[in-house]
Structure formats: C-alpha cells, structure tokens
Amino acid sequence: MAKSHLLAKVPSIVFKLVTFWYPNGYLHRNSIDALEALRGSNIELMLGVENERLQDIASNQASADDWVQKYVITYGNVNFKYIAVGNELNATGPLAPFVEKAGGSSLKIVVSGTGWPSAGGDGQVTTKENARIYNSNVINHVKGGTPKKPEGPMETYIFALFNEDQKQGEETEKNFGLFYPSKEPVYPINFN
C-alpha cells in the first residue's frame, strides 16, 4: 500500500512518542513519567480525568482543586490542549449528571475518541470495510456539530492512530488504528 501523504509529514519521533506513552492520542492514566517527559515540548496533550474520580471531582471543589494542582499546575510548562472528562463514557450513563453539574452543558464539546475495530471478534462485524464506513460516517456527521450545538464542525479524534499489536486483551482492542505499527494504512479514508 502507498504511504499516506499525512503520515509522511509527521516526524518519526512523534510516532515513537505516541505509541509509547499515549497510543490512543491522549493521556488518560496520568503518567507522571509522561508528563515529566513532555515538559517544555510543544506537543499538545489531552489529559483525562479518571472515570473513578469523576463523581468526587464533580461534587467536591477541594478534590477538583487537588486534581488540577497535581496534574496541571505542577506541569505548567506542558502544553495542555484539553482536559478530557473520563474515558469511554456513555453520555447517557450514570456519570452524565456529574459532568452536567460541573458545568459540562456550557462547555465546547470535543469527541476525544471514537472508532471501530477492523479485525478480531467474529470477523463479520469487525472488518476493515465496516471500520472504514464507521469512521467515514463519523467524519461526515461531525461537520455539522451536534443537535444541541449545531454551530458547525465539532472537533473529533478518531481512535486510534495506530493498531496496538502488543496490547493485552481481546483482539478487537488491538485493531482500532487507522495505521499499522509499520505506518501503512489499514484502509483508505478521506478526511475532507
């Protein structure tokens, strides 16, 4: 397969950094080592509030202040672009009221990761073609915003940039990437 024009413009050190520290595009386990390593770099980072801390942070200002001090203020020379609220949350689930209470309804919505596996599972649903269709539909859908906020395109991140062939667990969890670890595309996709 031909190399992607987009991929050719990304320095190889970024590939190493992305796949080593935060392979899905954002740091949701708040690794102190990763934060230390990113000090002074111009790499934009999305930092996630852990799911198990959401309720406490949303209902207790001191807990929220403590989290911000520990992971954000302490690392003032890290280029934080976003603070993500949880990982793999269902917006209609039991954590949603805490996000709303914390002011989530007035915030700009960014989809920090969505995707479809291209392999694993039964091989009927998890196919390259289904992954391509899903991600293409996401790209087309987010151009118009959301029903509550139709102002225009919504910033969205496809999970994941790379397949994670060394990841533990189910085969489907290893195959969400747009690219193989070799940097070759898993399937063609148009971002326009």
% residues pLDDT > 90 (the chain): 25
More confident residue, 46 or 136: 136
Q: What is the pTM of this model?
A: 0.64
How does pLDDT run across 147-178, given as a tens digit for each residue?
777 888 888 888 888 999 999 999 999 999 99
152-155 long-range CB contacts below 8 Å, 24 or more apart?
154/109, 154/110, 154/111, 155/108, 155/110, 155/111
CA angle 154, 165, 167 (to 5 degrees): 80
Amino acid at 189: I
Tell me what pLDDT residue 84 has: 78
How does pLDDT run across 88-116, given as a tens digit for each residue?
766 555 555 655 555 556 667 778 788 99
How does pLDDT run across 64-83, given as a tens digit for each residue?
889 889 988 999 898 888 88
State mean pLDDT over 21-34: 57
